[in-house]
């Protein structure tokens, strides 16, 4: 399916959520850089592979909004984890009353995404921007995973779901996930937009993901019902 043929559209989302909601800083505690550094140092200390090569595996918003300098990118496959909307978002693209979802890697299966080689040789300085972005909300754990690419295997930092955290939703059905995504909007915009951007990125890269395909159709159906 091409990006232009996706059932979910920005126009449909905008009609259901014409305005972002006000930010609620109390909805999600964010860790400071001082609180984040020990975890990053521990991750860097366990980094496999060449010391001067720093890779990050992207499977969600990092694919379409990396926000770091990229030296190289490769389509890659991770085994043992799959992409799933299983992390509740009570801020940014949802609220406490109507939480949305963001993606995480959860156990089992495989996931095709993008391996980015970051521009920089100092792991702490190079990784802090992406570490801050992904880890400040205490929803993820980090792991260095082997990523299979056409040019060989690289070891990339990946963000997997923190199953012990209160944001982990467990194994909800896709209709249940779609209901929350369709209803949720935060100060950064609707949860459905996050889904759409990710589905578009996958389509443009030739990545097929049935979970995303089914969800964008289910969310579109619900948004059309709201629009009727």
pLDDT digits (tens, 9 = 90+) for 86-125: 999 999 999 999 999 999 999 999 999 999 999 988 999 9
pLDDT score recorded for residue 35 = 98
Q: Do 27 and 88 form a contact (C-beta atoms < 8 A)?
A: no
pTM listed for this prediction: 0.94
Q: 67: buried, middle or exposed (CB in 10 Å: 19+, 13-18, 0-12)?
A: exposed
Domain ranges in the chain are 26-227
Phi and psi at residue 67, in whole multiples of 5°?
Answer: 60, 30
Q: Does domain 26-227 have CATH number 3.10.490.10?
A: yes
Catalytic residue positions? Answer: 134
**Per-residue pLDDT for 141 more than 90?**
yes
Percent of the chain with pLDDT over 70: 96
């Amino acid at each position: 399916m091409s990006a232009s043929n996706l059932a979910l559209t920005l126009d449909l989302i905008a009609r259901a959520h014409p305005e972002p909601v006000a930010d609620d800083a109390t909805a999600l505690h964010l860790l400071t850089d001082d609180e984040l550094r020990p975890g990053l140092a521990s991750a860097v200390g366990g980094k496999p592979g060449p010391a001067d090569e720093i890779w990050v595996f992207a499977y969600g918003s990092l694919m379409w909004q990396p926000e770091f300098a990229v030296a190289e990118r490769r389509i890659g496959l991770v085994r043992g984890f799959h992409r799933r909307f299983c992390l509740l978002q009570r801020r940014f693209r949802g609220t406490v009353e109507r939480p949305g979802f963001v993606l995480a890697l959860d156990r089992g299966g495989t996931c095709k995404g993008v391996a980015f080689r970051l521009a920089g040789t100092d792991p702490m300085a190079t990784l802090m921007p992406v570490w801050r972005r992904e880890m400040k909300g205490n929803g993820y754990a980090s792991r260095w995973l082997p990523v299979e690419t056409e040019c060989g295997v690289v070891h990339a930092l990946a963000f997997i779901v923190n199953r012990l955290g209160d944001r982990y939703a467990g194994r909800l059905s896709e209709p249940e996930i779609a209901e929350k995504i369709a209803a949720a909007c935060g100060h950064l915009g609707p949860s459905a937009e996050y889904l759409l951007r990710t589905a578009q990125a996958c389509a443009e890269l030739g990545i097929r993901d049935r979970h995303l395909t089914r969800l964008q159709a289910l969310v579109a159906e619900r948004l059309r019902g709201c629009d009727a």
